[in-house]
């Protein structure tokens, strides 16, 4: 890129992000019509999350959980500043985005685990398990909408295209 840009998102983070988008979308869109595709997309999502957890410990600086997961106090301070219109720009993930990432990772595990359990002898035909699976999917859809909206709002607020940065890996200095 140019001298006003800096590499933030490594290839692992970017591939994980967009492959998880594809796996979740595939699983969601095939839920009623293509059982095999639905199941394999779910397994792919679980595998991606497992890889991302590993990458969160050994990846590049901004990929590491230690770089972006805030303490409860830091998260509260950030949200208070954000609500006053003074949320600072972060080169990596801001504390609110970090909490959303943790939620989405956990939601993917919950969706994948309940989906897998429904295919076992133990969970086959369980209405409670199916309700939990589908409810978690619906909650995740809401979280995804909030995540996308926040990325757009923060892009405007900080005058940088966060979606583009997740494609190229670069943000402004």
Residue numbers in the chain where pLDDT is lower than 70? 1
Give the fold, CATH level 3, of 5-168: Fumarate Reductase Cytochrome B subunit (1.20.950)
Residue 65's pLDDT is 96
Q: What is the pLDDT of residues 111-134, one digit of tens each?
A: 999 999 999 988 888 899 999 999
- Cβ pair 68, 93 in contact under 8 A: yes
Q: Distance (Å, rounded) from C-alpha 167 to C-alpha 173?
A: 17
Helix, strand, coil shares of the chain, percent, nearest 5, are: 70, 5, 25
Let me know if 116 is exposed, middle or buried by CB neighbors in 10 A (0-12, 13-18, 19+).
middle
Q: How far is CA 81 from CA 77, 101, 112, 154, 166, in A?
A: 6, 20, 35, 14, 25
- From the list 68, 48, 55, 171, the residue with the least C-alpha distance to 112 is 48
Residue 1's pLDDT is 64
């Amino acid at each position: 890129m140019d001298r006003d840009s800096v590499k933030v998102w490594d290839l692992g983070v970017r591939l994980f992000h967009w492959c998880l988008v594809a796996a979740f979308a595939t699983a969601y869109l095939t839920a009623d019509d293509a059982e095999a595709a639905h199941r394999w997309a779910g397994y792919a999502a679980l595998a991606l999350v497992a890889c991302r957890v590993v990458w969160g410990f050994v990846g590049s600086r901004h990929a590491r959980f230690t770089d972006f997961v805030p303490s409860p106090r830091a998260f509260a301070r950030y949200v208070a500043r954000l609500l006053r219109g003074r949320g600072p720009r972060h080169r990596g993930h801001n504390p609110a985005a970090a909490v959303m990432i943790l939620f989405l990772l956990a939601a993917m595990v919950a969706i994948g685990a309940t989906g897998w359990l429904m295919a076992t002898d133990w969970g086959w035909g369980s209405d409670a398990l199916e309700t939990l699976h589908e409810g978690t999917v619906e909650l995740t859809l809401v979280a995804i909408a909030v995540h996308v909206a926040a990325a757009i709002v923060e892009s405007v607020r900080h005058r940088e295209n966060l979606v583009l940065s997740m494609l190229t890996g670069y943000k402004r200095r």
